[in-house]
Amino acid sequence: MKQWNSGVSKLALMATVAFGLAACGEEAEAPKTKAEMTAEATAFIQEAEQQLFEAAMYLERMAWVNANFVTHDTDMLVAEADKKFIALGVELAGKSKKYQGVDLPDDIARKFEKLRLALTLPAPENADKTKELADIKAKLSSTYATGKVAMEGEQKTLGQVSEIIATDRTPERLLAAWDGWRKSAQPMKDDYARMVEIANEGAKELGYPNVGAMWRSNYDMDPDAFAAEADRLWDGVKPLYDALHCHVRAELSDYYGSRVVSEDGAIPAHLLGNMWAQSWGNVFDLVKPEGGAESYDLTKLLQDKNYDARKMAGAADDFFQSLGFDALPDTFWDRSLFTKPEDREVQCHASAWDLDWKDDIRIKMCTKVDGEDFITMHHEVGHNIYQRAYQEQSFFGATGAHDGFHEAIGDMVALSITPDYLIKTGLLDEAPSADADIAILMQQALDKVAFLPFGLMVDQWRWKVFSGELTPDTYNQGWWDLREKYQGVKAPNDRPADAFDPGAKYHIPGNTPYMRYFLAHILQFQFHKSACEQAGWEGPLHRCSVYGNKEVGEKFKAMLEMGASKPWPEALETFTGSRDMDGSAVVAYFEPLKAWLDEQNKDRTCGW
């Protein structure tokens, strides 16, 4: 090995070489001052925002066309637009590394972090892999949208088999519908595994261990700290869920018999009235309280008053106007998809769209005139209201404070759809007596409380997939292990070795992070409780409606207008006065029901 001359230091030699290189070429550039680096970084991030904004608008329009006209050609169009958006995001994130370590103002530093997190599924800096990732995403989405179930001599759509799950009470027919939809997801498995592999490469190039850690970095805290925060929130509401599960299982066992539903185990997933057993409202008639005053049937009220999809959307618009928000623009009514067309394939999963980051806001929904879709309509319009509220923010600030906020806005308003509200809007003639409250709360709990563990476990599964803890061979078993652990729900039959049951849920092939829905089911009650306190309400939380309260609306709007320009605790504090997410409002809302459930369950074996 060559030794350095003892008379000349290594550092001095390096300096000499550097001087020689500078002398032979361009004059060495003087180090930039902090002010110069800050100005350069600011200019870079502003240009990046503009480029991403233009690319995102184009992608959004391609995605809208594809969702409304699902064909081979529109799959190709959206894949091409997605490829360009992913490539741009990867390119800009790569260039941003130049400014790592630069002491930037908080608002600029926040935008750089948002740039690194701009892609839900990042690709590596490889054009072939970027194209492959975009193609797989489009293929998975199309496979889900066009899935059919061979049943009873015909090819049934998801809507048709979902209706069977919701209304039928024959275990064999329910199982056929449930199992058939999962068969439609089996072909996705290999593509999904390849997509995970590519996206993880992209995440590592951005400095994240994997995509799951990257997603958890979106909450203004350390990824592991966020996972602990989710567990903390779940621990606060779990006793309420456990009591509900115990009662529902006992009633289903009474109805179907203990050979179908055991009295002390997990509940078979096909018997809970929902294709994914994520909400249980459709089995209300089997588990509702006996006696007490009659409640009301929201579906019947809507149908008796000749509501259609547009009139349901109008009710949601009216509610937000009553809080002081502007009416939805004419383009919303002209360009939204309200009902399923008869002449083409569409992606029926309800969604809200913002096509220009200003006023071209729309929904896409195959609406049914029933109570469930009335609530869903408020949820989707809530997205549009939020999108409009933060339209003055720059690209990285023009989104929810975190994704759970976005999902909670319309649902918070829907909690004010009380008997008093229904009377004010002409849907109900007379409010049911307080004796009906347990039934009303039960109906809500079957949707809101039953959802909580499902909302938590979907991304628990994906975090394990992205980290490699679950492999393609264990994808399906890992899914059902988590479902049983958190929900106390099990598969109703032996699952095939090549099954990919997670793919039967839209958000898995659609690559939509799901923790937002769990957080939203916490936040909507926290928002509702705060709104009712601001309105001076002193009665039970479930009887409070803030319809027409513009003072509440003014503070609510102030939170929405912030978008993601500040860390989410600041946005939360603007409306609620607290910087912490808190599940105690969920418990307070359902307190009368919890007491009733505990009484029903006192001689039962609870847990699974």
Task: Categorize the per-residue pLDDT at 193 as very low, low, confident or very high, splitting at 50, 70 and 90.
Answer: very high
CB 54 within 8 A of CB 395: no
The residue behind tokens 């048709």 is 160
Residue pair 195/133 in contact (Cβ under 8 Å)? The answer is yes
pLDDT at 29: 62
Residue 3, pLDDT > 60, answer no
Is 376 within 8 Å of 101 (Cβ atoms)?
A: no
Is there a catalytic annotation at residue 251? no
Q: Looking at the predicted structure, is the pLDDT value of residue 591 above 60?
A: yes
Q: What is the pLDDT of residues 388-435, one digit of tens each?
A: 999 999 999 999 999 999 999 999 999 999 999 999 999 999 988 888
Task: Please report which confidence band the pLDDT of residue 13 belongs to, taking 50, 70 and 90 as the band edges.
Answer: very low
pLDDT at 22: 36
Amino acid at 44: F
**Known catalytic membership, residue 270:** no
Q: How does pLDDT run across 542-579, given as a tens digit for each residue?
A: 999 999 999 999 999 999 999 999 999 999 999 999 99
Alpha-carbon separation of residue 16 from 6, 21, 324, 601 (angstroms) = 16, 9, 70, 83
User: Which has more pLDDT, 60 or 32?
Assistant: 60
Residue 55 has pLDDT above 50, yes or no: yes
Is the pLDDT assigned to residue 458 strictly greater than 60? yes
Are 417 and 315 contacting, i.e. CB atoms less than 8 angstroms apart? no
Average pLDDT for 43-69:
94
Cα distance between residue 30 and residue 102, in whole Å: 17
The strand pair at 149-151 and 154-156 is best described as antiparallel
Whether the CB-CB separation of 219 and 571 falls below 8 Å is answered with no
* Eight-class DSSP state of 337: B
CA 116 to each of CA 78, 377, 514: distance values in angstroms, whole numbers, following the listed order: 22, 33, 20
Evaluate if residue 24 carries a pLDDT over 50. no
Exposure b/e, 141-169, CB count within 10 A at least 16 = b: bbbbbebbbebeeeebbbeebbbbbbeee
Give the whole-angstrom CA distance, residue 78 versus residue 76. 6
Neighbours of 256 (CB within 10 A): 15
| Global pTM exceeds 0.75 | yes
Q: How confident is the model at residue 2 (pLDDT cuts 50, 70, 90)?
A: very low
pLDDT at 5 over 60: no
**What is the arithmetic mean of pLDDT over 526-540?**
96
Q: Could you give the CA distance from residue 364 to residue 353 in angstroms, rounded to a whole number?
A: 8
Which one of 60, 201, 380, 407 is the catalytic residue?
Answer: 380
DSSP type of residue 500: -
* Mean pLDDT taken over the chain: 92
Bridge partners, residue 354, by sequence: 361
Nearest by Cα to 376 from 281, 458, 259: 281
Determine the average pLDDT of the residues in 515-521. 96
Q: Which two tokens stand for residue 282?
A: 């459709």
Angle separating helix axes 475-487 and 437-467, nearest 10 degrees: 150
Cα→Cα distances 468→117, 119, 228, 345, 473, Å: 21, 20, 20, 35, 11
CA distance 166 to 177: 11
Q: What is the pLDDT of residues 235-290, one digit of tens each?
A: 999 999 999 999 999 999 999 999 999 999 999 999 999 999 999 999 999 999 98
- Number of neighbours of residue 126 by Cβ within 10 angstroms: 16
pLDDT at 292: 67
Q: Taking a C-beta distance cutoff of 8 angstroms, is the pair 505, 197 a contact?
A: no
* Helix 515-534 / helix 437-467 crossing angle, nearest 10 deg: 140
Rounded-to-integer distance, Cα 303 and Cα 241, Å: 32
In angstroms, the CA 238 to CA 244 distance is 10
Contact 412, 553 (CB under 8 A): no
Residue 368 confidence (pLDDT) above 70: yes
Instruction: Find the mean pLDDT for residues 79-87.
Output: 90
Q: Is the pLDDT of residue 95 over 50?
A: yes
Catalytic residue among 383, 402, 507, 542: 507
The per-residue pLDDT for 296 is 85
- φ, ψ for residue 153, nearest 5 deg: 80, 10
Tokens 């027409």: give the residue.
Answer: 548
Q: Are 320 and 385 in contact (CB under 8 A)?
A: yes
pLDDT in the model for residue 244: 98
- CA–CA separation, 411 and 423 (whole Å): 20
| pLDDT tier, 293 (very low <50, low <70, confident <90, very high otherwise) | low
Among 186-190, 356-360, 519-523, the least confident range: 356-360
Angle between helices 550-562 and 515-534 (to 10 degrees): 140
Tokens of 62: 């391609």
Residue pair 166/273 in contact (Cβ under 8 Å)? The answer is: yes
Cβ(346)–Cβ(70) below 8 Å:
yes
Secondary structure (H, E, C), 226-257:
HHHHHHHHHHHHHHHHHHHHHHHHHHHHHHHC
